């Protein structure tokens, strides 16, 4: 998100608020009135759950009771934080269990492998497409752009179903591979391939989206840089390496950070692959595991601890990506 | 010079080839979905050695759709209606709340403004899928579970939305607002009569993003909704969780979930692109 989001984001962090303070009106109450619907919902459905997850991760229990643990009175409606049946404080037990939970590690590993397969392929495709679409010679840019962006609007579960049908035994994937002499691949029930299938599905969905973001980045590069390089006799590849890539760095950072978050919350695709016969152990992503723990086994406390761990992992990875760049 | 032109032609040829090839590969699943939704189950897969699945549309679309409608546990048409109502109401509410909040953040000065704003920004890094456990407890305790509101309200305060509206509204000149105040407009009239009309394209951009977000939610509706209230993704996952998957029904359901959205998306994608980039992509 080039100018509109990324740059302002950095601006907000540093900021020239003095300047704004003189000019903007300070009417008592009015801004709060405008903000109240948003912040009421934000507080109830985002802020409280964030802290509540952390709180729950120190408890163990099964099932939900209707008694309130504590209540917040917001006038028209009482928001009650429910107490759990058999609520029991266990300290760090959930976290200790997590450290020795092989399924947790396996699902993290699966998520990481999906990331490693998906990201290079997707970024290479998106960058290549963006370069061609940015070139002066290319015609019908608008049409190509629209077509390539279409997958973003595909319903996640529905498109996963399409890929299952293509990859199923006797499906089109086998036949296409057979045509170039490759024997059929067991896409769904073989662990290795089922995991790759999840990655390929995501490549299909997100390449166009990232292409648009990279394209925006390419268009912000000043043409004078290229002109100077041409006078110096630089080849296309040299220009790409020494001008395009360094100039694209902030955009690439954005692509990597959003993709990391996207991969770590992947749920629909593995769920569909698993429910059509994929091997649980190799395709279970971390969010899928949390869902199983919390809503199939009803171990909400342990599920919360897993959630906290995952948030910590995502934050750390994002920070590292910011630091490295 | 001649050699250089030849090289340039080679680059262009390669570039076009790459572009067309990738586009065709990307479009193929969509084409195949349309075809498969019109085929009987037996023709979706290859019959025997050397036999191809059919690649041209058949005539079974209506038969597949009827078979799909006959499954009460999936209740597909009801789920389409559910998804549509939820997504439309959600988009309207979130637009209202985000634009009001964005206006306050962009055009007023008040105490703790920065702290509030940083709080919103902080949640942008948080995958929403992960709040499902406490949300479930909260929503069931409020007596909202298995209702449309359970899917609409939790995400109506969409952090990216208020951020986006704030950025857009900062471009409105303060003198315009001052002039309206001089004319005796109340602050709410300012928002309603001056700010909103000048934000049409930003609102449209955000609307597309919000609608798609809600339309694609899966984990949360799966957790909080029961039979009769399913949204499309949940209904499709129910077709698939059967022991014997009816692929013809699955394809007709997927086609109805995806293809109409494509038509709408092609019409609105300019707004979507503006939404994520703020008009940074030129022709």
Amino acid A3: pLDDT: 43
Residue A13 maps to a domain:
no
Domain boundary among A44, A66, A94: A94
**Interface mutation vs chain B, best among A1, A2, A3, A4, most B CBs within 10 Å:** A4
Amino acid A26: pLDDT: 78
A86/A216 same-domain check: no
* Touching A: B residues 84-143, CB under 8 Å: 96-98, 100-101, 103-105, 107-110, 113-114, 116-121, 123, 125-138, 140-142
pLDDT, greater one: B45 or B46 = B45
Token reading at B39: 């085929």
Residue A2 maps to a domain:
no
Token reading at A253: 């950072």
A34/A110 same-domain check: no
Domain boundary among A94, A120, A139: A94
Q: Is A68 helix (H, G, I), strand (E, B) or coil?
A: strand
Residue A293 maps to a domain:
yes
A155/A252 same-domain check: yes
Q: For A22, name the nearest residue in chain B, comparing CA atoms only.
A: B109
Average pLDDT per 10 consecutive residues for chain A, totaling 325 residues: 46 46 72 90 89 89 53 43 64 93 95 94 95 89 91 90 87 82 86 93 94 90 88 87 90 88 90 87 92 85 93 88 80
Q: Is A263 on the interface with B (CB under 8 A)?
A: no
Measured CA to CA, the distance from residue A282 to residue A266 in angstroms comes to 14
A252/A146 same-domain check: yes
Q: Is B194 on the interface with A (CB under 8 A)?
A: no
Amino acid A121: pLDDT: 95
- In this model, does residue B98 exceed pLDDT 90? yes
- State whether A155 and B96 contact (CB < 8 Å): no
Q: Is A311 on the interface with B (CB under 8 A)?
A: yes
Residue A1 maps to a domain:
no
pLDDT in tens, B129-140: 788 888 988 888
A236/A152 same-domain check: yes
A141/A225 same-domain check: yes
Residue A305 maps to a domain:
yes
Domain boundary among A59, A94, A129: A94
Which uninterrupted H or E stretch holds B44? Answer: helix B41-44
Q: Is B154 on the interface with A (CB under 8 A)?
A: yes
A141/A71 same-domain check: no
- In this model, does residue B278 exceed pLDDT 90? no
A140/A211 same-domain check: yes
A115/A244 same-domain check: yes
Measured CA to CA, the distance from residue B231 to residue B226 in angstroms comes to 10
Amino acid A130: pLDDT: 95
Residue B266, judged by CB atoms within 10 A of its CB (0-12, 13-18, 19+), counts as middle
Which is nearest to A43 in space by CA: B215, B97, B110, B105? B97
Q: Which domain holds residue A44?
A: 28-94
Minimal Cα–Cα distance from A43 to chain B, Å?
9
Measured CA to CA, the distance from residue A22 to residue A293 in angstroms comes to 53
Count of structural domains, chain A: 2
* Touching B: A residues 51-110, CB under 8 Å: 52-53, 56, 64, 66, 68, 77, 79-82, 84
Amino acid B51: pLDDT: 64
A279/A189 same-domain check: yes
Q: Could you tell me how many CB contacts below 8 A there are between chain A and chain B?
A: 339
A122/A49 same-domain check: no
Residue A61 maps to a domain:
yes
First to last CA, chain B: 30
- State whether B16 and A132 contact (CB < 8 Å): yes
Amino acid A79: pLDDT: 45
Token reading at A215: 């394209």
Amino acid A16: pLDDT: 45
- State whether B219 and A268 contact (CB < 8 Å): yes
Q: What is the ipTM of this complex?
A: 0.86
Residue A9 maps to a domain:
no
The domain that holds A229 is classified in CATH as 1.10.3720.10
- State whether A68 and B141 contact (CB < 8 Å): yes
pLDDT in tens, B182-194: 998 888 999 999 9
Which range among A192-201, B116-125, B142-151, B193-202 shows the weakest confidence by mean pLDDT? Answer: B116-125
Q: For A275, name the nearest residue in chain B, comparing CA atoms only.
A: B241
- In this model, does residue B239 exceed pLDDT 90? no
A158/A103 same-domain check: yes
Minimal Cα–Cα distance from A259 to chain B, Å?
11
Residue A247 maps to a domain:
yes
For each of the domains in chain B, give its residue range(s) and CATH number, in order of start.
2-63 (no CATH), 71-241 (1.10.3720.10)
């Amino acid at each position: 998100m080039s100018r509109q989001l990324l740059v302002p984001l950095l601006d907000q962090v540093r900021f020239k608020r003095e300047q704004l303070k003189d000019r903007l009106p300070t009417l008592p109450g009015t801004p709060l009135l405008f903000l109240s619907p948003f912040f009421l919902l934000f507080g109830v459905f985002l802020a409280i759950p964030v802290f509540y997850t952390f709180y729950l991760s120190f408890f163990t229990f099964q099932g939900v009771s209707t008694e309130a643990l504590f209540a917040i009175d917001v006038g028209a409606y009482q928001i009650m934080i429910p107490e759990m049946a058999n609520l029991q404080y266990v300290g760090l037990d959930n976290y200790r269990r997590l450290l020795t939970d092989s399924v947790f590690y396996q699902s993290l590993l699966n998520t990481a492998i999906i990331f490693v397969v998906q990201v290079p392929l997707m970024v290479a495709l998106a960058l290549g497409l963006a370069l061609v679409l940015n070139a002066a010679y290319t015609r019908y840019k608008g049409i190509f752009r629209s077509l390539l962006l279409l997958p973003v609007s595909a319903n996640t579960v529905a498109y996963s179903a399409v890929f299952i049908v293509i990859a199923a035994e006797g499906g089109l994937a086998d036949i296409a591979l057979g045509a170039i002499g490759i024997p059929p691949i067991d896409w769904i029930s073989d662990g290795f391939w089922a995991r790759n299938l999840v990655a390929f599905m995501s490549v299909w969905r997100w390449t166009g989206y990232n292409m648009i973001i990279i394209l925006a980045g390419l268009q912000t590069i000043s043409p004078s840089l290229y002109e100077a390089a041409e006078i110096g006799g630089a080849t296309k590849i040299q220009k790409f390496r020494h001008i395009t890539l360094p100039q694209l760095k902030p955009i690439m950072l954005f692509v990597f950070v959003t993709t990391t978050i996207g991969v770590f919350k992947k749920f629909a695709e593995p769920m569909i692959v698993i429910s059509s016969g994929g091997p649980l152990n190799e395709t279970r992503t971390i969010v899928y595991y949390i869902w199983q723990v919390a809503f199939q086994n009803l171990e909400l406390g342990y599920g919360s601890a897993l959630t906290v761990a995952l948030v910590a992992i995502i934050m750390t990875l994002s920070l590292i990506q910011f630091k490295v760049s | 010079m001649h050699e250089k032109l030849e090289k340039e032609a080679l680059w262009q040829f390669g570039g076009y080839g790459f572009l067309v090839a990738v586009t065709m590969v990307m479009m193929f699943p969509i084409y195949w979905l349309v075809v498969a939704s019109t085929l009987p189950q037996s023709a979706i897969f290859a019959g025997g050695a050397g036999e191809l699945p059919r690649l041209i549309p058949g005539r079974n679309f209506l038969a597949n759709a009827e078979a799909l409608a006959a499954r009460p546990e999936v209740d597909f048409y009801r789920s389409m209606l559910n998804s549509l109502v939820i997504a439309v109401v959600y988009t309207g509410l979130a637009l209202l709340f985000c634009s009001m909040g964005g206006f306050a953040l962009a055009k007023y000065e008040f105490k703790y403004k920065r702290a509030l704003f940083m709080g919103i920004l902080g949640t942008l890094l948080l995958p929403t899928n992960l709040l499902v456990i406490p949300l479930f407890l909260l929503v069931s305790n409020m007596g909202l579970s298995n209702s449309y509101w359970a899917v609409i309200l939790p995400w109506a305060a969409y952090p990216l939305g208020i951020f986006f509206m704030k950025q857009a509204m900062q471009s409105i000149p303060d003198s315009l607002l001052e002039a309206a105040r001089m004319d005796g407009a109340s602050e709410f009239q300012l928002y309603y009569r001056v700010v909103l009309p000048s934000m049409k394209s930003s609102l449209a951009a955000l609307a597309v993003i919000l609608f798609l977000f809600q339309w694609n939610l899966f984990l949360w509706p799966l957790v909080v909704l029961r039979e009769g209230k399913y949204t499309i993704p949940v209904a499709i996952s129910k077709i698939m969780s059967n022991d014997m998957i009816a692929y013809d029904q699955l394809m007709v359901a997927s086609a109805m979930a995806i293809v109409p959205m494509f038509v709408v998306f092609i019409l609105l994608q300019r707004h979507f692109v503006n939404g994520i980039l703020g008009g940074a992509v030129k022709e």
